[in-house]
Structure 1
Amino acid sequence: MIDLQLIYWLSGAYFAWLALAAIHDRSHSRPKANALFWGVLALLFLAGERLPNAVVGLLVVVLALIAGFGGLGQGTPARRDRDPAEEARRHGHRLFLPALIVPLFTVLVAVLLKDVEIAGQRLFGAQQTTLVGLGLACLIAIGAACLLVRQSPVVALAESRRLCDAIGWAALLPLLLATLGSVFTATGVGEAVAGVATAVVPADNRFALVLAYALGMALFTMIMGNAFAAFPVMTAGIGLPLLVQGQGADAASLAAIGMLSGYCGTLMTPMAANFNLIPAALLELKDPYGVIRMQIGTAIPLLACNIVLMYLIVFR
């Protein structure tokens, strides 16, 4: 049976490889710090559930200290034997095919294959099937990309290390911010938001509640840097108590459009560094906020469309 534990082990093995590659790279600017950072992350993925909570918390603090004090550096992966620009011109839009495999295969597993059995045994674990499908989809996409450009998986590993070195600690932002959302919910931030919303927004005005939820998702995402962090707070504060329970809104469609509203906030905030600041740095743009400035013209109309869709769909 393929379950989420296997995905964790594969991820942990990859982070362990990053640590070993850094420590053996003599040209690396900060090999020990990089090795410690990726090594700690590998330990958390490989054995986190077997470690005491206090130890896990301490290891997370270690990660934050390494990143916060600028401990990560860059190494020198193996030289490329092909020019990336020339490869991009030669393959054109076909380069997007491996990326499209990721959502397609994830949906295939989550919807059509989730209950498949072989010899009376489930093919995929009953828990977190979507995440299992996502992990497998990424592996299949890597294989497809290697076939498309006729390169070996070793080259894929080298290029992935180059990218991880360039992005650094920001690669963990989605994971950490999603965890931050859970922490906020557990500490009662959602209840505080609900109190403010009920005091300001008329409880019997559906459009006002939809507006508060969608705008709240976008604004909290801009503050926290990730829609996954904003989602549990806004859904616990406004979505579930006021829209689902109070107005009978459909929870599934409300959550889906709510997340899309949050993503509009992602397009407009420097807090989403891995989406907006890192690409500007990698592309060596003169304006570090150039990506955000270009995206605002799309984000605001898209948010307005999400508000209209939410109002028209979730109450049907």
Structure 2
Amino acid sequence: MNTKDILEFFYIFIGIIMIFASIESFRDKSNSARIGTGLFWLILGIIFATGKYLPNFVIGLLIVVIGILALFKQIKVGKVKGPDEKIEKQSAKRLGAWLFLPSLVLAVLSILISQFTKLGGLIGIGVASVGSLIIAIIMTKINFKTTYHDSERMVRSMGTAGILPQLLATLGAVFTAAGVGQVTAKMIAGIFPAGNHLLGVILYCVAMAVFTMIMGNAFAAFAVITAAIGIPFVVAQGGSPAVVAALGMVSGYCGTLVTPMAANFNSLPVALLEMDDNLGVIKQQAPIAIIMLIVQIVLMYFLAF
């Protein structure tokens, strides 16, 4: 079995959990949009589980259907039954600090597999996730029914934010293929003359942060903004490519901290922690993001040249 087959197994596994979420969404009679929500998770589950075998055109149509459901506000989280508080307290008291063991196993095992095997990071995370789940089941002694409901509950709590990372990564690929970087470079060149090191650094770092805020993905922004601003305005003026690239990515992450488009960082915690303020995470991170961006500009100016 090669790495692609192993990775495909995890995609199928994720798809099955999404189908579980679909079943429970259809059964949630308290949700006025239960049909649309159920279809949303069902379509996602089908794409994840069978995407390898479906024609690209079919997958594209399914994504359009999801977009239509979202447009008409037919995707709602609905009533998600939480865990039993009494059982939670009993388990927490019995296990104590051992509660953190599955989380530690997830982090450590994924790093070990990605760094010391040829399987790669994605498979490492998949293996570590399954391993930590098994450990959690053994430790808490929960039955299959509880595992089923907790799994689908976590997935349903994400709502439409669950698909944003995939769509944003696709958007970045489309922008790069469409030559957005070259167009942006021509626009910037007509406004700001090349040759000023400080101005070039500020433009690059701020553009990385802003474009990441728009796209929600620093990796997608990096390809576009580095081609448009980083190379002609910083690297071509004598800046070290390694320093510029490293600090440019961190500048992008500053934008990640302050945008709801970065759903996996800023929207999922709100949903999973059931926070009242949808922008609560962003508000806490914003001051740090601004300070970090200023620091990246200073570091790049003094270290890159």
2:264 is the alignment partner of 1:264: no
- Name 1:232's counterpart in structure 2: 223
Please list every run of 5 or more consecutive structure 1 residues that lacks an aligned counterpart in the other structure. 115-123
| Matching residue's letter, 1:237 | A
- Name 1:52's counterpart in structure 2: 55
Aligned counterpart in structure 2 of residue 43 of structure 1, from 37, 43, 46? 46
Deviations 1:185-212 (Å, cap 9, x if unpaired)?
1112111222234445554455543433
| Farther off after superposition, 285-294 or 181-190 | 285-294
Deviations 1:124-172 (Å, cap 9, x if unpaired)?
3xxxx22222222322333344455454565344223223323211111
2:305 is the alignment partner of 1:302: no
The separation in 2 between residues aligned to 1:192 and 1:93, in whole angstroms, is 54
SS in 2 for 1:72: coil
| Farther off after superposition, 14-23 or 152-161 | 152-161
What does 1:77-156 align with in structure 2 at a 5 Å threshold?
A: 77=81, 80=84, 82=86, 84=88, 95-114=99-118, 124=119, 129-152=120-143, 154-156=145-147
- Name 2:172's counterpart in structure 1: 181
The separation in 1 between residues aligned to 2:174 and 2:126, in whole angstroms, is 25
- Name 1:117's counterpart in structure 2: none
The separation in 2 between residues aligned to 1:300 and 1:87, in whole angstroms, is 41
Distance 1:305 1:22, change over 3 A: same
Distance 1:16 1:165, change over 3 A: closer
- Name 1:158's counterpart in structure 2: 149
Q: 1:60: how far off?
A: 0.6
- Name 2:14's counterpart in structure 1: 11
Task: Check conservation: 2:154, 2:272, Cα contact below 8 A.
Answer: no
TM-score by structure 2 length?
A: 0.79
| Matching residue's letter, 1:212 | L
Q: 1:38: how far off?
A: 1.5
Aligned length: 300
| Matching residue's letter, 2:210 | L
TM-score by structure 1 length?
A: 0.77
2:211 is the alignment partner of 1:211: no
The separation in 2 between residues aligned to 1:236 and 1:46, in whole angstroms, is 35
The separation in 2 between residues aligned to 1:16 and 1:48, in whole angstroms, is 14
Aligned counterpart in structure 2 of residue 290 of structure 1, from 269, 280, 283? 280
| Farther off after superposition, 280-289 or 103-112 | 280-289
| Matching residue's letter, 1:307 | I
- Name 1:190's counterpart in structure 2: 181
Distance 1:207 1:91, change over 3 A: farther
The separation in 2 between residues aligned to 1:91 and 1:233, in whole angstroms, is 48
| Farther off after superposition, 302-311 or 291-300 | 302-311
Identity of aligned residues (%): 40
Please list every run of 5 or more consecutive structure 2 residues that lacks an aligned counterpart in the other structure. none
